[in-house]
Amino acid sequence: MTDIRSLVPDIAETIHYAGSDNFTGGPVDGYRASKCFLRTAAAEALARVERDLRKDGYRLRLWDCYRPARAVASFVRWARDLSDTRTQAAHYPNLGKDKLLGEYIAPISGHSRGATVDLTLMRCEGKQCTPLDMGTAFDFFDPRAHTGDPGIDATQRANRQHLLRAMAEEGFVNYPQEWWHYSLPSAAAADTIYDVPVE
């Protein structure tokens, strides 16, 4: 695993699961630091995406990278606790919590193989960067978060496609149900799920 900041020291990171601003409402088991680790080939590819975007005045903001298996297990426990709906308004306003397991929360995550990243795109002028309008927030469990959702407007669609093209240039593949979710299959640990804490 490689810390992305060893390749791009000033890359923008907001690792949501290390804090309380996420769909569980609190820090997630396995996140002891707000850092982005990826298998080295994936980290190098992501650094190239960032470098190419900067040439045109754009940058990435990373929300999650490698995810320990214990964190995924904590997501499943949270999803099964139907009494805890504190974050419904922000993250799943149109769904019952009993509908989250499966399409939105899986018992095994590609993030735990070390080559999956959740991120968005920002437009920058100098050091001032503004996130682009993608139509939904991160971890919004709803069809509107599907990359090709027909309900988003033209600007939001163009922004999603910009991110898609930039990531595809380095071989990253989008998960169609989440516009922010990308994996680099060639860099993933095919038969290995890691559970080392992020620290």
State phi, psi for 26 to the nearest 5 degrees: -160, 170
- The one catalytic residue among 44, 50, 103, 178: 178
Q: Residue 118 pairs with which residues in a beta bridge?
A: 64, 181
Is-catalytic flag, 125? Answer: no
Q: Which residues are catalytic?
A: 178
